[in-house]
Chains A and B, each alone.
Chain A
């Protein structure tokens, strides 16, 4: 899994602040995804991207913004963080029509 990295691993931010979570993959996979994981909800898709400059909403996109100017990077921005966005965030990429490879995650706490 060394090919997909997320940063930071841990982040504490205040309500109302903007925060960006980074995701970088070295395989040139076309598809990239952002999920959040909360107890009782499993993994929920926030946004995904089929290629550079192509992004689309997932199940829970409100309050988040993504961009993908380069194939290898897929940052996720919380424009104005809220306590309900406290979660573990996972980035993933996919090779063709096969399994996803996940990053190690970012544990975000909004206080």
Chain B
């Protein structure tokens, strides 16, 4: 079945450092979504990318969708303690039953002062 892999699994950074997580799919995606889950919380939708090569920004967060629509990345510039959490990518493929998201395993980010 389709797999969505994320690396790294964990990342510790000092506050102010940059952070990047990468997402790779074994199949072409119709779109990709990114979610953030704070410790003890639930996943919260951040953004959706649809077009090949698309780049979107949300303040210090930059999201990219690869040209082949099989990979994506999330880059955070100058991390803050509020960025702590697990970041998940989720790929959407078209199936006979409609779109179903397949989540990556997530990257847990810890930010130290």
Contacts and interface: CB of A to CB of B under 8 A. Distances in A.
B interface residue count range (under 10 / 10 to 19 / 20 to 34 / 35 or more)? 20 to 34
Contacts of A101: 45
Interface residues of A, number: 25
Nearest to B50: A97
Q: Is the interface of B mostly helix, strand, loop or mixed?
A: strand
Interface in B87-113: 88, 90, 97-106
A43 B103 contact: yes
Interface of B: 1, 31, 33, 35, 41-48, 88, 90, 97-106
Given A42-B106, A43-B88, A59-B1, A102 B42 contact: yes
A27 to B, nearest CB: 14
B85 to A, nearest CB: 14
